[in-house]
Amino acid sequence: LAVLWALVTQPDTRQKALEFNILEIALGALKANENSLTVLTMAIGAIRGVCYDDVVKQEELLKLEGLKVILDVLRTHMDKAAIAVECVLVLYFISKQLKFRVTLREHEVMPVVLKVLKSHPKQAEIQNWALSVLWNCSVDVEGCQEVLKDVGVVIDAMKAFPDNADIQEDCVNVLWNLGYHRVGLDEMRAKGTAELVRKTIKSHDKLKQRGLH
């Protein structure tokens, strides 16, 4: 698994590595070694490498019911940062594709991602990618309603990482989705969201347009 992970994550060897059934091998390893953190981390890392900006491989993963396997691992080992970040990265790559977002919702990905955010409040990398999943999956009313169930984690991330432009951008975009669809406006007002956004757009110029909206 370590070799496969290394091969598939390097540009020079990626295409050759993709000739092998890495997804099936990695998913098999996840199912057979559910208590080995090292194996789980390597296997999900290999899946992440295969699915990186590759819609065909992402679709193959879904057909192999890989999303369910990854979510099971994430739920079981949510407190392990190394596993959580790899799982969330796979979810992020899949969530970038509009056609897969219904599948993500059917598998109840949003509640899991919200729990990940609460479980790792100080891990910037996990916060960044998990918030990106929320942003991608909250482009419609249904997605916004899922975020609203625990929108406090978005507010907490804005407060915890004021100097992290990527996290601030993710948060502002999630809040923009909520505002655009007019979901949870009273809740956001009660949490002082407007003042937080004002502070953000003062510190991060590229967020001014979205923040003001």
Residue 161 contacts by C-beta under 8 Å, 6 or more apart in sequence?
A: 124, 127, 167, 168
Q: What is the pLDDT of residues 126-167, one digit of tens each?
A: 999 999 999 999 999 999 999 999 999 999 999 999 999 999
| Residue type, position 19, single letter | E
With beta carbons less than 8 A apart as the criterion, state whether 29 and 39 touch. yes
**pLDDT, tens digit (0-9, with 9 covering 90-100), for 94-111:** 999 999 999 999 999 999
Mean pLDDT for all residues in the chain: 92
Q: How many other CB atoms are there within 10 angstroms of residue 108's CB atom? A: 11
Task: Look up residue 52 and give its two tokens.
Answer: 């990186």
How far is it, in rounded angstroms, from Cα 127 to Cα 65?
26
pLDDT above 60 for 199: yes
Burial tier of 102 (Cβ tally within 10 Å: 0-12, 13-18, 19+): exposed
Greatest Cα-to-Cα distance within the chain, rounded to the nearest angstrom: 54
pLDDT digits (tens, 9 = 90+) for 19-61: 889 999 999 999 999 889 999 999 999 999 999 989 999 999 9
Q: Among residues 116, 91, 115, which one has the least CA distance to residue 103? A: 91
Rg (CA), the chain: 18
Measured CA to CA, the distance from residue 133 to residue 51 in angstroms comes to 15
State the pLDDT at residue 53.
Answer: 87
Q: Do residues 211 and 197 lie in contact, with contact meaning Cβ atoms separated by under 8 Å?
A: yes
Q: Provide the 3-class DSSP secondary structure of residue 198.
A: helix
Burial of 55 (0-12, 13-18, 19+ CB in 10 A): middle
